[in-house]
Every structure is written in C-alpha cells, then in structure tokens.
C-alpha cells in the first residue's frame, strides 16, 4: 500500500519523529510512504527527520495532487500548533483522509486558522456550540493564555471541527473520544502512540551520585506545574537536601527569572538548561532519576515526553487526569490536581526515600512502555484503518449528499434518521465502529470505538 503523510517533519517536531518511526515500520512491512510537510512556508526549509520516504512541501500543488492520485491512504497528523499544521488544514479540507489526532484540544490551532477564515470559523463555532459561541470564543482568545485555555477546554475544544472533516480518526487515549465519535461517522481507533528513546539503557539502575535528579522536559509553561514542583521540594527538608531539579526546554527569560527566584527563596537547587540539542537532552534523560511530567490542565491525547521518560527507565510522576490517568498504576506515580503541592511532596518523598522501590517501578514502566508504544503495532493499525476508511468513504459521501439534498428541500436533518431512509443505508454500515462500551478497553492495547 502507498501512504501519504501530511505532517510536520522538522527535527524539533515530536509528531515528525512519530511519522519517521511509522515510515520505517511500514517499510519493513513492504509498504511505501511519501511525506508532505505541512509547516508554514517559512519553516519548510528547516532540517527534517531522516527518512527513506520522498518529502514534498505542501504548497507544491501539482506534486501533491500527483502523489495522492494513486495513494491507498492519506494520513493527516494533527496537533494544536498552527505553524506546524498549516498545510495539513489546507489539504484536509480538499482531500479527506485518516486523521491521527495528537491533541483533543485544538482551540489554539483553530484560533490561528480563524484569523484567515473568520466568517467560516464563526459558522463552525455556531454549528457545533451554538449561536453565542463565536462571541465567547473570540473574546476568550483575546484574554490571557491561561483564560483562553480554560474556556476552550471547558466549552470550545474544537475537536469536532477537525474530526468532522476526517474519513476516520486514530487517537492515543480514550478520555476525549466521545467528542471524536460525535463528529466523525467513519472508523475510529485508540492506539498507543509510537515513540522511541535513543540511547536508553535496557534496564535502569540506581545512580551513585549524592543527589537525586528530577527532570522536566519541554517548553516551560504554566501547565507543566514547575512552580508546584519547586514548592513541593522547598516544603520538604528531605527533598531540599537530597534533590536537584533540572529543566530542559525553551524558556522565556522572565519565566526563568521568576522560577529561579522562587527556587532560591525556598532553598531548592534548580538547574535551568534551556532549549538543548538531542545529545544534551539524551544525556539529561540518562542522568535523571525521576521524570516529572505533570500537566494541568491536561489536553494531550498522549504525551511524548512521558512515554520517553518511561522508555528511558525513569520513575515517572504524572497528573492523575486524561491520558496520564490511563497509565498503569504500578508503572507511574500519579498526583491529583486537587491539593497538588501536598500530593506531589508525598510522592517525591516516597521516591527519594526508597531508591530500590523507585528503580523497581522504573523497570516495570520501561518494560510496559517498550511493549506498548510500538511503531510496528501502530503501522499495522494504519494498514487496517486504510481498508476501513476506503470502505467508509462511499457511505459517508452518500450520507452527505442526502443531507445536502434534504437541506435544499428545507427538510429537518432529523429526517435522516427516519426508517425509510436509515434502514436502506444499513446495508452500507461502516466497518470498524463498536458500541460506546468498547472505549473502556485497556489503554495498553489497541482498541476500537
């Protein structure tokens, strides 16, 4: 089969890294792939992930149309970053395909897209969320980043906007799939995100250094709860004496000053490494004892940094919510968002005080992650989804045509559910959807919805 991936592919894109892993897995299975890079034009020349697949820019229309003409499946990697997914949105509207959904909250993607498509965006908001939605959404978008994220997560996640354009959807945890099911009539799957850990040791061991190293990776922002980690360490005499806390990721100078001042006032040893290259990040991962992957609010369908921490054999601490809540309780330690500082202090004290138990949990997590977050397994699911999506497309197209015809007659959309219309369409029942109860499947396994 021939797969065309519409995806960011810059080396600093975790989604691009996932795509490169999938291309390798598909190649081992005897399939071929082409990459259409979807970053905004000014980013298309940035270094890309290594891959045997041909790579095209999304804005070369003739090449894209030519390469998609004989494709068996179009795969759209979609996350909540307009700069990375600009071209994917352009082509998804013209050439529907399978959406691999990396974030259930897509409000930031939508808001940036809406700057160029305001009238269409207002219609989308009104359709999915009601006539007040356009006013409330754009008012929230002009507020603080935290205020916008909170309003969008509670009322306007925009999950439906993307999923309604898809022939089928693959995502990576169950918690946000109800909105997906409400918007996409095609096949749906929950499949663990494929990821790797370059340079990771197969079996983690105990460090001999005096200090226990806690590491947080990624763009330093409020939802990573770094100030909570600092306060938890500072409130504990045990942790203050025993711990070094390191941050690896892009950080604004004002944020660095604020966190450094907080750490200094509480007697916390804080190491701010900033944005690092791959080699430095791998070294930080290898030297860490604990990977602190708190996220609140939690928006992701899956967390690449959490998976990487598990694969590197680190004791991983997460927020007990969304994707993170679905991780096995014996492989990670979970912190409730309510009373976060106290809960985090207790968890970190346990991990620091009992090194053998910490290492044993890390080993369990590493073994589970190696089995679960597999590129080969995900690629096999894409092959199956490609067949299901091909079968679903005529049905979805027929339903859309009938809906448009009824609308032209000014008939109610409820008429589509009438027995005289719905019963004949049952002949074309879409493959790959199971009753809602299937959503409760073990997140460590592939599951259908």
12 and 88, same domain (yes or no) = yes
Using an 8 Å Cβ cutoff, are 425 and 111 in contact?
Answer: no
322 and 440, same domain (yes or no) = no
183 and 261, same domain (yes or no) = no
Which residues contact residue 300 at a Cβ distance below 8 angstroms, ignoring those fewer than 6 apart?
Answer: 102, 103, 104, 322, 323
316 and 409, same domain (yes or no) = no
Using an 8 Å Cβ cutoff, are 345 and 236 in contact?
Answer: yes
pLDDT at 431: 45
263 and 218, same domain (yes or no) = yes
Torsions phi, psi for 10 (to 5 deg): -65, 150
Residue 432 half-sphere exposure toward CB, CA atoms < 13 A: 27
pLDDT in tens, 214-273: 999 999 999 999 999 999 999 999 999 999 999 999 999 999 999 999 999 999 999 999
184 and 49, same domain (yes or no) = yes
Using an 8 Å Cβ cutoff, are 299 and 322 in contact?
Answer: yes
Strand order in the sheet with 332-335: 269-274, 243-248, 212-217, 290-293, 315-319, 332-335
The residue from 372, 391, 412 where one domain ends is: 372
Block means of pLDDT (10 residues each) for the chain, 449 residues, are: 98 96 98 98 96 97 98 98 98 97 98 97 97 98 94 97 96 97 94 92 58 96 95 98 97 97 98 92 94 95 97 97 97 96 97 97 97 97 93 62 62 63 58 38 37
Which residues contact residue 311 at a Cβ distance below 8 angstroms, ignoring those fewer than 6 apart?
Answer: 195, 196, 197, 200, 366, 369, 370, 373
171 and 226, same domain (yes or no) = no
187 and 245, same domain (yes or no) = no
Q: How far is CA 4 from CA 7, 84, 96, 138, 330, in A?
A: 9, 17, 12, 34, 38
Is 297 among the domain residues?
A: yes
pLDDT at 200: 81
Is 121 among the domain residues?
A: no
Q: Which two three-digit tokens encode residue 128?
A: 């999915």
pLDDT at 400: 62
Spatial distance between the Cα atoms of 180 and 96, rounded to a whole number of angstroms: 16
Is 138 among the domain residues?
A: no
Is 434 among the domain residues?
A: yes
DSSP per-residue letters across 243-290? EEEEEES---HHHHHHHHHHHHHHT-EEEEEES--HHHHHHHHHH-SE
165 and 34, same domain (yes or no) = yes
189 and 219, same domain (yes or no) = no
242 and 381, same domain (yes or no) = no
The residue from 354, 372, 390 where one domain ends is: 372
Q: How far is CA 438 from CA 5, 85, 418, in A?
A: 28, 30, 27
Range of the domain at 364: 212-372
Spatial distance between the Cα atoms of 427 and 279, rounded to a whole number of angstroms: 55
pLDDT at 443: 36
Percent of the chain with pLDDT strictly greater than 90: 81
The residue from 333, 349, 372 where one domain ends is: 372
> Helix, strand or coil for residue 196?
coil
Is 150 among the domain residues?
A: no
Q: What is the CATH number of the domain that holds 34?
A: 3.40.50.11930
Is 204 among the domain residues?
A: no
pLDDT at 403: 57
Count how many domains the chain has.
2
416-421 long-range contacts, CB within 8 A, separation 24+: none
336 and 385, same domain (yes or no) = no
Is 128 among the domain residues?
A: no
Is 148 among the domain residues?
A: no
List beta partners, residue 6.
Answer: 36, 76
Count other C-beta atoms under 10 Å from residue 267's C-beta.
Answer: 12
Q: What is the CATH number of the domain that holds 217?
A: 3.40.50.2000
């Amino acid at each position: 089969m021939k797969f065309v991936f519409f995806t960011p592919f810059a080396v600093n894109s975790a989604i691009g890294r996932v795509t490169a892993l999938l291309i390798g897995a598909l190649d081992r299975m005897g399939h071929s792939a082409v990459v259409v890079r979807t970053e905004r034009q000014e980013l298309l020349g940035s270094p890309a992930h290594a891959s045997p697949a041909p790579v095209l820019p999304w804005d070369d229309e003739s090449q894209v149309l030519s390469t998609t003409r004989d494709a068996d499946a179009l795969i759209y990697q979609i996350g909540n970053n307009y700069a990375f997914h600009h071209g994917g949105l352009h082509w998804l509207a013209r050439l529907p395909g399978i959406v691999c959904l990396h974030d259930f909250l897509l409000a930031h993607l939508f808001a940036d897209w809406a700057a160029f498509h305001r009238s269409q965006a207002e219609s989308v908001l009104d359709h999915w969320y009601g006539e007040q939605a356009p006013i409330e959404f754009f008012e929230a978008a002009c507020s603080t980043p935290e205020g916008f994220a909170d309003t969008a997560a509670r009322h306007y996640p925009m999950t439906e906007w993307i999923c309604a354009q898809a022939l089928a959807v693959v995502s990576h945890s169950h918690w946000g799939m109800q909105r997906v099911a409400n918007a996409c009539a095609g096949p749906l799957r929950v499949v663990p995100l494929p990821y790797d850990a370059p340079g990771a040791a197969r079996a983690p061991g105990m460090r001999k250094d005096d200090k226990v190293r806690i590491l947080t990776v990624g763009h330093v922002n409020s939802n990573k709860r770094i100030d909570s980690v600092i306060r938890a360490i500072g409130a504990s005499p045990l942790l203050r004496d025993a711990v070094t806390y390191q941050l690896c990721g892009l950080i604004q100078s004002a944020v660095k000053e604020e966190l450094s001042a907080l750490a200094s006032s509480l007697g916390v040893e804080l190491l701010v490494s900033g944005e690092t290259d791959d080699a430095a990040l791998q070294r930080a991962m290898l030297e860490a004892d604990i990977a602190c992957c708190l996220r609140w609010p939690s928006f992701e369908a899956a967390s690449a940094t959490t998976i990487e921490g598990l694969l590197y054999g680190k004791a991983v601490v997460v927020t007990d919510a969304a994707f993170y809540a679905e991780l096995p309780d014996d492989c990670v330690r979970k912190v409730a968002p309510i009373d976060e500082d106290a809960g985090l202090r207790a968890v970190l004290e346990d991990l620091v005080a009992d090194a053998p138990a910490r290492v044993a949990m890390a080993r369990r997590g590493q073994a589970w992650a190696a089995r679960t977050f597999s590129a080969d397994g995900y690629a096999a699911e894409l092959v199956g989804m490609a067949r299901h999506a091909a079968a679903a497309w005529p049905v979805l197209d027929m339903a859309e045509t009938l809906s448009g015809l009824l609308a032209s007659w000014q008939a109610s959309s409820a008429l589509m559910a009438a027995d005289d219309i719905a019963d004949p369409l049952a002949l074309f029942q879409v493959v790959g959807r199971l009753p809602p109860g299937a959503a409760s499947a073990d997140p460590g396994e592939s599951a259908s919805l």
